[in-house]
């Protein structure tokens, strides 16, 4: 970076400061896809998901701690504690699960960028009165890689990003993270969408646990609590209508269009699987020893799928996928294919769109609804399973008494 960047160190947003964990350089994991040794963890302040760490981080008072003069602190693994003297105005997530959380908290106006725009389901907001995000107006952080320069250009108040994601997925090193942290703004985030990465040796968070952390950052816990209550209400209603027998499903991502092979995605504890877990499915891929693509698994072809023969196939695709596009480019191809046409799911018309990878509290409700319809059309049909107006009211701050 140029000298002009270094010269900003003394003036850069003094209201965002780091707690002791960050001052020791605490980042779990390391570059190159390996986990830190015990020696490295001790030297850098990195922490694994020990019982002590997990227990300390789940206490309600740990989410936001009040300080003098209206300041407050939020603690989240793997970074530790970050202190704030004011609510961040501009913010940058990498994965769109956190982008959706910020929108749910009514902070879309400060959202400056996202890793890949096509992976942020802003089209879902079209159904919510008074809620919108101009995806074209967001800076895309991925530009044949993600360099430090874009973070200087954005000059955001907070990076809602797990620094270990930058190290292990985007090729940054610790010096890169420390430089951007010092000269631009803090990092605070946890890679929650999957649990397949071997470098993620520290505390995980569920979707709503991570959402609660971001609500504490933005001082919008009332909206978090309203979302939490409504989520529980919707989920209880949907689960009460599920059949007793759980379907065996395969969640797949096409390796090409039209697809001749697929990347397998197992149904797990990461937030990307929340709607499938909510619906109580059985993972046909896991039952046959298939390795998740995010854990290094390769593609699987139709012959392998025929051996597994799931009850239903959910095809995950990024971007806004219309019913006609999905029918023409996926379903029709499978029905006309010599091998794929023999699959039980294809014969029974149970191949459907599986949604996006990244989901926060808003997108999750849409994906839960769509998954329920796809798995159980005889029960849910085209029914809307949640109240769009109620969600809009929470986002805009009408959360009731």
**What pLDDT, on the 0 to 100 scale, is given for residue 70?**
79
Pairs from 29-33 (Cβ < 8 Å, separation ≥ 24):
29/78, 29/164, 29/167, 29/168, 29/199, 29/200, 29/201, 29/202, 30/167, 30/168, 30/174, 30/199, 31/167, 31/168, 31/171, 31/172, 31/173, 31/174, 32/168, 33/168, 33/198, 33/199
Going by C-alpha positions, the residue among 213, 217, 208, 244 that lies closest to residue 362 is 208
* Residue 262 clears pLDDT 90, i.e. is over it: yes
Domain architecture of the chain: domains with CATH: 3-94+141-219 (3.40.50), 236-395 (3.40.50.1980)
- pLDDT band at residue 31, thresholds of 50, 70 and 90? very low
100 within 8 A of 360, measured Cβ to Cβ: yes
Q: How many residues does the chain have?
A: 401
CA distance 224 to 229: 9
Strands (E), 79-201: 80-84, 91-93, 113-114, 139-140, 158-160
Q: What is the mean pLDDT of residues 20-47?
A: 28
Residue labelled with tokens 């003297």: 85
What percentage of the chain carries pLDDT values higher than 70? 82
Q: At what angle do helices 361-375 and 207-218 cross, to 10 degrees?
A: 160
**What pLDDT, on the 0 to 100 scale, is given for residue 69?**
56
Tokens of 233: 């209400």
Q: What is the mean pLDDT of residues 135-154?
A: 97
**What pLDDT, on the 0 to 100 scale, is given for residue 67?**
56
For residue 65, the surrounding DSSP H or E stretch is strand 65-66
324 DSSP assignment: H
CA distance 385 to 368: 9
């Amino acid at each position: 970076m140029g000298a002009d960047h270094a010269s900003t160190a003394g003036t850069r947003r003094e209201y965002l400061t780091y707690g002791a964990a960050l001052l020791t350089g605490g980042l779990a994991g390391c570059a190159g896809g390996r986990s830190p040794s015990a020696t490295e963890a001790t030297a850098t302040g990195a922490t694994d998901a020990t019982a002590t760490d997990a227990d300390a981080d789940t206490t309600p008072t740990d989410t936001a701690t009040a300080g003098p003069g209206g300041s407050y602190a939020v603690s989240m693994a793997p970074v530790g504690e970050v202190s704030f003297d004011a609510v961040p105005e501009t913010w940058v997530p990498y994965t769109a699960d956190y982008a959706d959380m910020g929108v749910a908290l009514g902070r879309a106006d400060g959202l400056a960028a996202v890793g890949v725009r096509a992976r942020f389901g802003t089209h879902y907001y079209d159904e919510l009165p008074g809620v919108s995000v101009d995806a074209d107006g967001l800076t895309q952080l991925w530009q044949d890689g993600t360099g430090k320069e874009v973070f200087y250009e954005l000059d955001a108040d907070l990076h809602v990003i797990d620094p270990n994601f930058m190290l292990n997925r985007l090729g940054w090193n610790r010096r890169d993270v420390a430089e951007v942290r010092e000269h631009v703004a803090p990092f605070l985030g946890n890679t929650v969408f999957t649990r397949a990465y071997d470098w993620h040796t520290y505390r995980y968070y569920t979707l709503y646990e991570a959402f609660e952390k971001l609500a504490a950052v933005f001082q919008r816990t009332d909206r978090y609590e309203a979302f939490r209550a409504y989520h529980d209400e919707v989920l209880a209603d949907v689960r009460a209508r599920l059949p007793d027998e759980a379907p065996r499903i395969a969640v797949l991502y096409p390796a090409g269009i039209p697809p001749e092979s697929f990347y397998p995605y197992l149904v797990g504890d990461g937030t990307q699987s929340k709607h499938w877990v909510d619906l109580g499915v059985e993972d046909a891929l896991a039952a046959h020893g298939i390795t998740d693509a995010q854990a290094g698994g390769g593609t699987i072809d139709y012959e392998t799928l025929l051996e597994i023969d799931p009850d239903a196939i959910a095809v995950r695709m990024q971007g806004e996928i219309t019913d006609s596009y999905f029918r023409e480019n996926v379903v029709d191809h499978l029905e006309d294919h010599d091998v794929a046409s023999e699959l039980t799911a294809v014969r029974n018309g149970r191949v459907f769109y599986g949604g996006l990878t990244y989901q926060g509290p808003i997108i999750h409700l849409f994906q839960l609804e769509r998954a329920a319809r796809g798995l159980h059309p005889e029960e849910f049909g085209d029914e809307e399973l949640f109240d769009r107006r109620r969600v809009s009211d929470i986002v805009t701050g009408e959360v009731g008494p």
